[in-house]
């Protein structure tokens, strides 16, 4: 969902793509995946799945390198949407205070600290259904100023129209985050104030504007393995797949409809990372929300399964994140290198 240089390291794919086994094959030469193919991947013996995911990862990325991104909430709370997992929805009684858009200089202070801490991408999130003109103008200025610091930029602002996407592109925005959240046939159990198609329309406008797409989902919302397969199929069948794919583990937040969410088996979470890596071999697969509750051993399995990006820093939008010192120690123990 790192060096401090302005340009992150990129690694080209090897000339020969990894062959798929006969029983689990892409739908076409464009590597479009049937849900049944993805369910077959989930059903592989755990170690076989990890082996294949690691082979895929090494065919497209240098082993042991992990991207660090920092996420900052620049406008918190008061969102009109009803996403069942979200602490920022105004209709949920979470006790979260509504805050105004953060001033530019405060954003830049966080960005400088992120760069000094080793992040190479700075992500800014605002709790809106879609941005108003005065807010978009302020965010555009943030994008321009953060880029001057030598960081990649990403924002998540809700739904956009084509003109808004073009203005963000003109400002030099590198990535736009807009998660598809869950499987298409499970979507209306999680959100009712917009449709999955609304999300896909924004992603298309972002892509048409020339901005890289960051899109993933949340697991552990009661979707089951079939739902996780449907989520991965939705992402993998985009043309092209998202350049960044954050895989979030639900962090149940008191006051939200999913506050009593299921406890996801840790191996099922690792399987989701592995299947995302196999079906989207050139994407950064980000180990995102939920890391604070994960053991070092579970995170190590996720890196083995092909995760090569993390959110770095003590806080995500409204939930905690793994302590930066713990991350540094874990990277040292595993021999991982930040990019």
Please identify every residue annotated as catalytic: 79, 83, 86, 123, 154, 214, 286
Tell me whether strands 65-75 and 309-311 are parallel, antiparallel or unpaired: parallel
Q: Which two tokens stand for residue 17?
A: 């793509």
Query: Any idea which residue has 């690792």 for tokens?
Result: 270
Name the strand (E) or helix (H) holding 46: helix 46-60
Q: Which two tokens stand for residue 35?
A: 């849900």
Cβ atoms of 226 and 220 within 8 Å: the answer is no
Helices 133-148 and 104-116 pack at an angle, to 10 degrees, of 30
Could you give the C-alpha distances from 233 to 32, 245, 290, in angstroms and in order?
Answer: 8, 12, 22
Task: Please give the Cα distance from 108 to 105 (Å, whole number).
Answer: 5
How many Å from the N-terminal Cα to the C-terminal Cα in the chain? 14
Residue 12: Cβ-neighbour burial (10 angstroms; 0-12, 13-18, 19+): exposed
Q: Which two tokens stand for residue 280?
A: 């989207």
Q: Which two tokens stand for residue 264?
A: 């996801």
Task: Please give the Cα distance from 324 to 12 (Å, whole number).
Answer: 29
Residue 113: Cβ-neighbour burial (10 angstroms; 0-12, 13-18, 19+): middle
Task: Tally Cβ neighbours within 10 Å of residue 26.
Answer: 16
């Amino acid at each position: 969902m790192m060096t401090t240089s302005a340009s992150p390291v990129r690694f080209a794919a090897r000339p020969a793509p990894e062959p798929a086994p006969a029983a689990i094959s892409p739908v076409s030469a464009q590597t479009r995946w049937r849900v049944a193919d993805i369910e077959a991947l989930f059903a592989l013996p755990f170690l076989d799945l990890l082996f294949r995911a690691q082979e895929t990862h090494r065919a497209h990325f240098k082993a042991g390198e992990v991207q660090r991104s920092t996420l900052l909430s620049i406008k918190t709370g008061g969102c009109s949407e009803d996403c069942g997992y979200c602490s920022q929805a105004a209709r949920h009684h979470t006790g979260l205070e509504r805050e105004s858009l953060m001033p530019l200089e405060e954003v830049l202070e966080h960005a400088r600290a992120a760069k000094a801490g080793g992040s190479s991408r700075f992500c800014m999130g605002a709790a809106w259904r879609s941005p108003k003109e005065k807010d978009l103008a302020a965010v555009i200025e943030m994008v321009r100023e953060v880029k001057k610091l030598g960081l990649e930029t990403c924002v998540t602002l809700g739904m956009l129209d084509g003109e808004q996407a073009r203005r963000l592109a003109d400002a030099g925005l590198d990535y736009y985050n807009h998660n598809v959240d869950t499987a298409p046939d499970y979507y209306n159990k999680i959100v009712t104030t917009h449709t999955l198609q609304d999300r896909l329309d924004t992603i298309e406008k972002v892509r048409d504007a020339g901005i890289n797409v960051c899109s993933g989902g949340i697991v552990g919302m009661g979707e089951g393995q079939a739902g996780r397969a449907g989520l991965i199929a939705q992402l993998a069948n985009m043309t092209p797949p998202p350049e960044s794919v954050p895989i979030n583990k639900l962090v149940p937040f008191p006051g939200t409809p999913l506050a009593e969410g299921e406890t996801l088996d840790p191996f099922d979470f690792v399987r989701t990372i592995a299947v995302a890596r196999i079906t989207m071999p050139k994407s950064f697969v980000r180990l995102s929300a939920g890391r604070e509750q994960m053991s070092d051993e579970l995170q190590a399995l996720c890196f083995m399964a092909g995760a090569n990006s993390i959110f770095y820093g003590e806080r995500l939008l409204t939930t905690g994140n793994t302590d930066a010192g713990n991350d540094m120690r874990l990277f040292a123990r595993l021999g991982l290198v930040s990019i």
